[in-house]
Amino acid sequence: MTNQLKTLILLTLLSALLIVIGGYFGGTAGLTIALAIAIAFNIFTYWFSDKIVLKMYGAREITESDNPRLYNLVKEVAISAKLPMPRVYIIEEDSPNAFATGRDPKHSAVAFTTGILRILDERELKGVIAHELAHIKNRDILVSTIAAVIASAIVYLVEIGRFMMIFRSSDERQNHNPIADLLIILLAPIAAMIIQMAISRSREFLADETGAKFIRDPIALANALEKIEYYAYKIPLQSNPATSHMFIIPPIFEGIAKLFSTHPPTQERIKRLKQMARSLGIAY
């Protein structure tokens, strides 16, 4: 099953969950209210997310004269990917990482920590750039926003349902099973989050594959991922968990947070990239 098809199926499941929860708690009116709130909030996030996250990490925009190596590599990959040249940023941070942001290819940006520029050679850095531009090409910011809208609406509906449980009339209480109410309130947000995480993981696999095709070198990214993860454990990135899905390797979280990682295991990503290299006849 392709990653694109997986995304479609998962979005359909998320939408179905929204409709079921909406019908159970709020009917058409509750569903409409929750969707309206979620859409308004996420449209704002989608439109201004690049400015918000770049400012959050103190990213500094560069030109070709500031860092010819990085700028020209981004330009080279952008041409291969048939994308407009994105804005390029550097974050003064020892932990190696990178992310892409922006609402569409014409309003996109890629950011790299000084740590990633220090540990990767030119081939590996090109693999990382290709992965980030693949997110832009595949419009993953839009896909993640759609998933967030639906998931947020589910959470709002559950809150409406919790409020309604308190103020139901005696007749309304007879038509609702309190155990079912409680199970939905507890499990629906978790189910929505799990599906949303699964969508994010499928988009990471797709970005790996698409980026490798841009530069015809899956091993470049495979080697980069191995290095980045190794150093990410040694030099953790101080980050906001809300932005962890944006990074090429998510910042290290311990305990239960690991269960809800927005990325697939790095070793699985490397394994798939090596399989892709073998299918292309590339030695490594």
pLDDT tens figures, 120-152:
999 999 999 999 999 999 998 878 877 777 787
pLDDT at 2: 67
Catalytic residue at 132? Answer: yes
- Could you give the C-alpha distances from 73 to 17, 142, 160, 212, 228, in angstroms and in order? 43, 25, 50, 15, 19
Per domain, the residue ranges of the chain are 3-279
Comparing CA positions, the residue from 168, 283, 8, 83 lying closest to residue 177 is: 168
**CB count, 10 Å around CB of 15?**
16
Bridge partners of residue 77, in order along the sequence: none
pLDDT at 281: 84
| Catalytic entry in 93, 132, 204, 209 | 132
Segments in the chain below pLDDT 50? none
pLDDT at 231: 92
pTM of the model: 0.81
How far is the C-alpha of 229 from the C-alpha of 225, rounded, in Å? 6
